[in-house]
A and B are shown apart, each in its own frame.
Chain A
Amino acid sequence: MASHGIKDRVAIVAMGCTPFTEHWDKGLDDLIIDAATECFDASSINKADVDAYWLGTAQGGMSGITLARPLQIDGKPVTRVENYCTTGSEALRAAAYAVASGAYDVAMALGVEKTKDSGYQGLNAMNPPGDGTQRTLTAAAMFSMVAPAYAKKYGVDEETMVDVLAQIAIKNHYNGARNPRAQFQREVTKETILKSPRVAGQLGVFDCAGVADGAAAAIVVRAEDAHLYTDKPIYLKALSFAAGSGSGLNDPNFDYTHFPECETAAKDAYAQAGIINPAQELAFAEVHDCFTPTELVLMEDLGFAERGTAWQHVLDGDYKLDGALPINPDGGLKSFGHPVGASGLRMMFECWLQLRGEATPERQLSLTSTKAMTHNLGGYPGEMVSFVSVVGSELD
């Protein structure tokens, strides 16, 4: 399989991101306008300069007109993309590849989701008409099967496993408490986490991502043009994507302790970016912590820890802000919140801030490298899509 990537050929030159929260006073259009406006205000680029747009929204609206109407964009190529929870990353990938191809000079990717108008807690998929045999299980229930399987396979006792998952939530809340755009800006104690109501299996409320409204946007240009727009561009080193065939649901060999789609996407991304040892070469990583056991398993799938050892690294604090490889310095899905179509670009927004030294001082990392990555997944164990990017503040 050829996957050549577009290393250092495209740069992000502007970004915007709304606060992620329950925006009772803002609709989808408002969120789009706010993220796009921040993006334009952050650069010398205006609407007329953007040649093409990609809108990522899982359920916010159909077609590119969902973006073109509120922003009053007339006669431009505007495309809506959807790929489960990786929707925002897909919008960026499409925009970046369009620019890399030479088809356009300037492209915008904008991800948005208005989740809180449904009247129900959690996320609710609207499925096409079907034969009524599809699973109706929640994502929480599907991911809840990961923790006991992992614990059993690697001999982690129940009490330790509870602690490991709690430490992941504690860390992400700690980081979110230092992020003025995060949905939950408060630290939590282990006691609070353990006392929270159970949602599915052993997963409680604090094991699950926050459900929020929000939008994030990025403008991409050819790398050689980047300095026309900003002194501190972020270069795309790798954009990788892998969709599973859903085989894990039917494959008796799948054991719910890893996500092959994420491994595949990570390997491809590291190859595109020329990364050999991600744990050492990356300054930090933004990963898709939709549930606490997801983040745990991802540490191994993404090559940060040997199989069966991530739980130990979690207990050692290796993924904290001051750890060897900070994970989700912005609070992650857990405390930044998860407006589906926006999350992939929100992860990129943290890379944008951190690599440019513009994160709030309480969480700004002292960078050990000029590179970082985002990992974004959609679907469920056994039936998943996965995106991995590697970005850097310098050309290699």
Chain B
Amino acid sequence: MQGIIRSSVYLPYRRLDTKEISGFFGAGGARTARTVASHDEDTTTMGVEAARPLLRDGIVIDNLSFTTPTPAYGDKNNASTLHAALRLDASVGAWDTGNSLRSSMGQLLSGIRQPTTTLLVSSDMRDGLPTSTDESNGGDGAAALILGMGTDEHPVIAEFVGSASLTDEFLDRWRNPGERRSRVWEERFGETRYLALGKSVFAAALENAGVIFEQVDRLIVTGLHARAVKAVGNKLSNGKDILRDELTGQTGQIGGAHPLIALSAAIEEGLAPGSIIVLIHLADGADAIVLKTTDAAIRVDAESSVATQLAAGAPVSYGKFLSWRDMVNVEPPRRPEPARVSSSAAWRSEDWKFGFVGSKDPGDGTIYLPPARVSRDSGDVDSMEPVAMADRVGTIVTFTIDRMAYSPSPPTVFAIVDFEGGGRFPVELTDVDAQRIAIGDQVVMTFRRLFTADGIHDYFWKARPVRLIDET
């Protein structure tokens, strides 16, 4: 059986109340809220965070495919960074597989047909100039799917039963490399094209899957053309209560990652076994995939479920949002900017820097963060064992707020963290409101971009509070 073995979504912690936009500019801000990647996040780090929960039980991956319309690097393969942070074996191929709004759907349709096990990650950060529709309707986030044949231990949870793709060259939305804003053609033209394509692709996919309309339990339509998405959804659902999109209103439209995010959210709903899910994505053509849920249990831990992440968000002011996105220049901290990371030094410490792997002394059990070669206890050299620390829960021993340290978004909140099972590390906190943290709070590690110097992104780990669902 081929299909989706598991799926996961990552939504950044911050939310912009888009009503602030019209308060500031006197225009813009159509919707109510959107997700906002923190100043220390990019599409690569969000992709890592989406994929991490899928790999905790040691499932073996054959290859990694990463798509994003907004890559952290050009030329350089961003998937290699994900590969390192996820600590995949060197023999696992990892490729950036496209940077259009259609790429993730293409990778889903090709990956799900392969006999190999593919980790597909898609991530996006939607930008638009201040007051634009894209600014207020966009969102940030990532999704990760494991595609393959499944095993007894890791069975398929949504079986691939059919698909269809229609490709059509027409200009609806475009962005030249390096530009911060997308441009769009007159809306009515795109709407007309997408409506026709949506109808055709839906019919073709159902036929390909051997499924009739009455069997469809869930229909998801995604795309950047909001009017077309709405029109296609209404037309195809034909009055039947199968159309769902609880997400977009809370997260914003997350571009290239959105189809996979919406699909993961639908899988997480826990539909009855045998339910038919159809996902249609409208981007320079139309793609449709038909999936059937199986009786395999869907395993989502509470921390990383979509529901928890939606509930856990906290506001970011519009001013901070604009500065995080480099839309306005605010006065930088009066500290020297950090020097660029050394490529060779970073390579040597790949396990530590990207994987947060320390070392453990087999003699006295001491955990060294960063890893050490010499035992403080026995003096033995190179007898240490690597110890993966990224998924260990930590406790704040003490913390401080540094108002002088260089940070892209000061002040820096910093804590001494003791990990479950041993080990201590002084680490920067993120996604945190300094007034609300306390000694004894629990934190988890999160992969972030510390700063960028000479165009080199400094990726490393920070700690963030465990997401609290029931906060009053």
Residues of A within 8 A of B (CB): 118, 120-122, 124, 127, 129-133, 135-138, 140-142, 144-145, 148-149, 198-201, 245, 247, 249-252, 254, 256, 382
Q: Could you say which residues of chain B place their CB within 8 Å of the CB of A124?
A: 335-336
Q: Which of B181-189, B201-209, B339-347 contacts A (4 or more CB under 8 A)?
A: B339-347
Contact of B336 among A120, A137, A141, A254 (CB under 8 A): A120
Between A and B, 29 residue pairs with Cβ closer than 8 Å are A122-B335, A122-B404, A131-B342, A131-B346, A131-B349, A131-B352, A132-B458, A132-B459, A133-B370, A135-B426, A137-B414, A137-B426, A137-B428, A138-B405, A141-B401, A141-B404, A141-B412, A142-B400, A145-B416, A199-B404, A200-B401, A201-B401, A245-B376, A247-B376, A249-B424, A249-B426, A250-B367, A252-B423, A256-B398
The winner among B334, B338, B397, B426 for most chain A CB atoms within 10 A is B426
**B444–chain A nearest beta-carbon distance, Å:** 18
A148-B398, A201-B400, A256-B398 known; 7 new pairs, CB 8 Å cut-off, are: A121-B404, A129-B342, A132-B346, A137-B405, A138-B404, A247-B376, A250-B425
Whether A199 contacts B345 in the complex (CB less than 8 A), given A124-B336, A136-B338, comes out as: no
- Asked if B424 and A252 make an inter-chain contact with CB atoms under 8 angstroms apart, the answer reads yes
Q: Mark B411-426, 1 if CB is under 8 A from A, else 0.
A: 0101010100011111
Q: Cβ of B402: which chain A residues have Cβ within 8 Å of it?
A: 137-138, 140-141, 144, 200-201
Q: How far apart are the CA atoms of A137 and B424 in the complex, in Å?
A: 17
Cα–Cα, bound, A93→B403 (Å): 36
CB <8 Å contact, B334 and A120: yes
Across-interface contacts of B338 in A (CB, < 8 A):
132, 136
Chain A residue at minimum C-beta to C-beta distance from B397? A252
> Which residues on B sit within 8 Å (CB–CB) of A136?
338, 405-407, 412, 450
Chain B residue nearest to A140 in the complex (CB): B404
For residue B318, CB closer than 8 A to chain A, the reply is no
Which residues of A lie under 8 Å from residue B376 when comparing CB positions?
245, 247
Docked complex Cα distance between A200 and B411 (Å) = 9
Q: Is A199's CB under 8 angstroms from B426's CB?
A: no
Chain B 351-368: CB-based contact to A (< 8 A → 1; otherwise 0):
011000000000000111
Instruction: Please tell me if the beta carbons of B460 and A132 are within 8 angstroms of each other in the complex.
Output: yes
Residues from chain B with Cβ under 8 Å of A201 in the complex: 400-402
User: In chain B, residues 366-423, which have Cβ atoms closer than 8 Å to a Cβ of chain A?
Assistant: 366-370, 376, 397-407, 412, 414, 416, 418, 422-423
Of B348, B405, B416, the contact of A131 (CB 8 Å cutoff):
B348
Which chain B residues border A149 with CB–CB below 8 Å? Answer: 398
Query: Which of A136, A142, A201, A249 gathers most chain B CB within 10 Å?
Result: A136
Q: How far is the CB of B290 from chain A (nearest CB, A)?
A: 45
Residues of B within 8 A of A140 (CB): 402, 404
- Whether B339 contacts A251 by the Cβ 8 Å rule is no
A133, B428: Cα distance in complex, Å: 11
Interface residues of B (CB under 8 A from A): 334-336, 338-339, 341-342, 345-346, 348-349, 352-353, 366-370, 376, 397-407, 412, 414, 416, 418, 422-426, 428, 450, 458-460
Q: How far is the CB of B462 from chain A (nearest CB, A)?
A: 11
| Residues from chain B with Cβ under 8 Å of A198 in the complex | 401, 403
Known contacts being A133-B352, A250-B369, is A141 close to B405, with CB within 8 Å? yes
Q: Least Cβ distance of A135 to chain B in Å?
A: 6
**For A118, what are the chain B residues with a Cβ–Cβ distance below 8 Å?**
336
Closest to A249 in B: B426
Contact flag A250-B368 (CB < 8 Å), given A132-B460, A137-B414, A145-B398: yes
Q: What is the minimal beta-carbon distance from B410 to any residue of chain A, in angstroms?
A: 11
Cα distance A287–B358 when bound, in Å?
A: 36
Q: Report A-chain residues with C-beta under 8 Å of the C-beta of B334.
A: 120-121
Q: How far is the CB of A161 from chain B (nearest CB, A)?
A: 14
- The CA-CA distance from A225 to B418 in the complex, in Å, is 56
- A138: which B residues are within 8 A, CB to CB? 402, 404-405
CB atoms of B412 and A137 under 8 A apart: yes
Task: Evaluate contact between A132 and B353: CB separation under 8 angstroms.
Answer: yes
Chain B hits for A133, CB < 8 A: 349, 352-353, 370, 460
Q: Is the CB of A200 within 8 A of B345?
A: no
A66 to chain B, nearest CB (A): 22
A131 to B350, CA, bound (A): 9
Question: How far apart are A130's CB and chain B's nearest CB, in angstroms?
Answer: 5
- A382–chain B nearest beta-carbon distance, Å: 8
By a CB distance below 8 angstroms, the chain A residues around B352 are: 131, 133
Q: How far is the CA of A130 from the CA of B370 in the complex (A)?
A: 13
A120 contact set on B, CB distance < 8 A: 334-336
The 4 closest A-B pairs by CB, nearest first: A141-B402, A132-B341, A129-B342, A132-B458
* Across-interface contacts of A131 in B (CB, < 8 A): 341-342, 345-346, 348-349, 352-353
Shortest beta-carbon distance from B11 to chain A in Å? 26
Give Cα A291–Cα B460 distance, bound, in whole angstroms: 30
CA–CA, A207 to B415, complex, Å? 21
Contact A132 B450 (CB under 8 A): yes
Bound CA span A136–B450, Å: 10
Minimal Cβ-Cβ distance residue in B for A248: B424
Q: A145 and B460: CB pair below 8 A?
A: no
Contact B345 A129 (CB under 8 A): yes
Bound: A245/B423 CA distance, A:
16
Across the interface, which residues of B come within 8 angstroms of A141, CB to CB?
400-402, 404-405, 412, 414
Interface pair A145/B400, CB less than 8 Å apart: yes
> What residues on A are CB-neighbors of B353 within 8 Å?
131-133
Q: Closest CB-CB distance, B224 to chain A, in whole Å?
A: 35
Query: Residues of A contacting B341 with CB < 8 Å?
Result: 129-132
Q: How far is the CA of A124 from the CA of B418 in the complex (A)?
A: 29
Q: In the bound complex, how far is the Cα of B348 from the Cα of A144, in angstroms? A: 33
From A127, A135, A199, A250, give the contact of B424 (CB < 8 A).
A250
Most A Cβ at <10 Å: residue of B400, B407, B416, B458 = B400
- Alpha-carbon distance A335/B232, docked complex (angstroms): 73
Complex: chain A residue closest to B348, CB-CB: A131
Interchain CA distance A127-B336 in the complex, whole Å: 12
A266 to B196, CA, bound (A): 84
* Highest count of chain B CB atoms <10 Å: which of A140, A141, A382: A141
A142: B residues at CB distance < 8 A: 400
Contact between A127 and B398, CB atoms less than 8 A apart: no
Give the complex CA separation of A200 and B335 in angstroms: 15
What chain B residues lie within 8 Å of A249 (beta carbons)? 424-426
A252, B422: Cβ atoms closer than 8 Å: yes
CB pair A127 B349 closer than 8 Å: no
**Which of A132, A199, A245, A254 is B403 in contact with, Cβ under 8 Å?**
A199
In the bound assembly, the distance between CA atoms of A149 and B416 in angstroms comes to 12
Q: Chain B nearest CB: distance from A18 CB in Å?
A: 26
